[in-house]
Structure 1
Amino acid sequence: MRRSFFQWLMTQRNPVTSDEVENFANAAFYDTQFPKHTDDFDFVSRYLEENATYLHSMSIFDQAWAQYLTSEE
């Protein structure tokens, strides 16, 4: 069974970074409303578009999602 996107994203956290995906992970850690138990692209994407002021570009999410899919194969 595949882990949720949030579970994978938390493995990308790095407090000393300039990498966009790692910065996204660091910020998502503090987002108490982040959908933590899903691997549904549309659900997570919609949440981020409507609520995540810390995500400067959805292309960062797309990059993270591609890495997530690759890691879960």
Structure 2
Amino acid sequence: MTEPFYRFLMTLRNPNDHGELATFAQNAFLDQAFPKQETDFDTLSNYLELNGNYLPSMDVFDAAYQLYRERRS
């Protein structure tokens, strides 16, 4: 079974880091409706487009998902 994206994202969470990826991870942690078991790019992307008002740009998600894919392989 593949590790969910959320679990990977939580490895980027760091309250002392104010970079885009760490901030995304912190905000996803606070988002109680975030799809925590999801691995699919399109499902996650659709969710964030509709509910991810904490993302300054979907490019942040794209970068995080690319890292996720690299670590899975």
TM range (shorter): over 0.9
Number of the residue aligned with 1:49: 49
Whole-Å separation in 1 of the counterparts to 2:17 and 2:38: 26
Number of the residue aligned with 1:61: 61
Q: Which runs of 4+ in 1 moved over 3 A?
A: none
Which consecutive residues of structure 2, in runs of 5 or more, have no partner in the other structure? none
Which consecutive residues of structure 1, in runs of 5 or more, have no partner in the other structure? none
Whole-Å separation in 2 of the counterparts to 1:33 and 1:18: 23
Q: Percent identity?
A: 45
TM-score by length of 2: 0.96
Q: What amino acid is the match of 1:63?
A: A
Q: What amino acid is the match of 1:16?
A: N
Whole-Å separation in 2 of the counterparts to 1:28 and 1:42: 17
TM-score by length of 1: 0.96
Deviation at 1:19, TM superposition (A): 1.6
Number of the residue aligned with 2:9: 9
Count of residues paired in the alignment: 73
- RMSD across aligned positions (CA): 0.7
Structure 1 stretch 15-24 or stretch 32-41: which is displaced more? 15-24
